[in-house]
């Protein structure tokens, strides 16, 4: 079974898909368009990556096109998606331990089961107090989510990595936090609206608040507020974060940023004047 045939088959088995398609060809067209949108690629850029003409990409994205995407081009699209996913989620922070580089090489070579096996072994063997544990748990989650973004194991490792961040110390702590939370935020913004997106946002927000409790750096609260706005989470969460920022930085400074940056648009209600009562 070809790559997109398998994707189509998996989609048809879903009980409540986010979108329904009348044919495999319509599904293929939407998948290619979704790939471009997810990674902000023009049709010209995708054509270069796939070594085809722009007209070919346009035909791929046309649901009324008669021909399905050829098998060898589906294989190329599979490899392109993997390469783009790795670039969006993975940073080889230096100094990079050999086991992290090994997992990176295995994932890049489409050997996900080997990467997962290595991750499982390392998580079992590494001391829970090791400052590198947060990064290892993050990479263990990546080893599963690259193959299946909805993987239960991936979510378990994500949660463990976020929890470990609050205990992480050492010179690489901030860089590891940026890598882990950056990947988590990327995944959040790619999820469709719904319970899964809100649940993921809740986990990231709580991790950021824990980091703020540790270091008192307002950047963590700003990031938590953006997550709460983008998930979106409850008004209670948004008001709490705005209040914490105002307490630390002053209300005027927080109001200025919230009112002028689109990322925080849902939080503007915190600064709206209540209607006068006659």
pLDDT single digits (tens) 24-54 = 999 999 999 999 998 899 999 999 999 999 9
Cα–Cα distances in Å, from 119 out to 167, 183, 230? 20, 18, 31
pLDDT over 50 at 128, yes or no:
yes
**Percentage of residues of the chain with pLDDT beyond 70:** 96
Look at residue 278 in the predicted model and tell me its pLDDT.
Answer: 45
Look at residue 259 in the predicted model and tell me its pLDDT.
Answer: 93
- Would you say 27 and 11 are in contact if contact means Cβ atoms under 8 Å apart? yes
pTM for the model stands at: 0.71
Arithmetic mean of pLDDT, 92-121: 92
- Would you say 228 and 237 are in contact if contact means Cβ atoms under 8 Å apart? yes
Mean pLDDT of the chain: 89
Arithmetic mean of pLDDT, 12-34: 89
**Among 206, 194, 181, which residue's Cα sits nearest to residue 232?**
194
Q: Would the CA dihedral through 22, 25, 27, 33 be positive or negative?
A: negative
């Amino acid at each position: 079974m070809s790559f997109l045939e398998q994707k189509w088959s998996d989609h048809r088995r879903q009980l409540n898909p986010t979108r329904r398609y009348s044919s495999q060809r319509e599904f293929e067209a939407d998948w290619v368009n979704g790939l471009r949108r997810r990674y902000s690629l023009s049709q010209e850029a995708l054509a270069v990556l796939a070594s085809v003409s722009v007209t070919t990409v346009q035909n791929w994205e046309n649901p009324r096109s008669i021909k399905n995407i050829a098998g060898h081009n589906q294989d190329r699209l599979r490899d392109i998606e993997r390469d783009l996913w790795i670039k969006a989620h993975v940073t080889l922070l230096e100094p990079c331990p050999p086991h992290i580089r090994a997992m990176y090489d295995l994932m890049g070579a489409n050997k996900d089961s080997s990467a997962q096996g290595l991750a499982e072994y390392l998580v079992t063997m590494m001391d829970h107090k090791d400052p590198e544990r947060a990064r290892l748990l993050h990479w263990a989650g990546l080893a599963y989510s690259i193959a299946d973004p909805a993987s239960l194991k991936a979510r378990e490792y994500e949660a463990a990595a976020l929890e470990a961040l609050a205990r992480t110390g050492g010179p690489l702590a901030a860089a590891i936090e940026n890598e882990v939370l950056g990947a988590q935020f990327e995944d959040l913004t790619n999820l469709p609206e719904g319970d899964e997106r809100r649940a993921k946002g809740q986990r990231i927000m709580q991790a950021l608040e824990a980091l703020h409790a540790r270091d008192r750096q307002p950047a963590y609260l700003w990031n938590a507020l953006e997550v709460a706005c983008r998930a979106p989470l409850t008004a209670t969460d948004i008001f709490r974060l705005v209040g914490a920022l105002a307490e630390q930085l002053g209300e005027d400074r927080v109001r200025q940023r919230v009112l002028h940056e689109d990322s925080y648009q849902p939080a503007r209600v915190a600064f709206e004047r209540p209607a006068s009562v006659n």
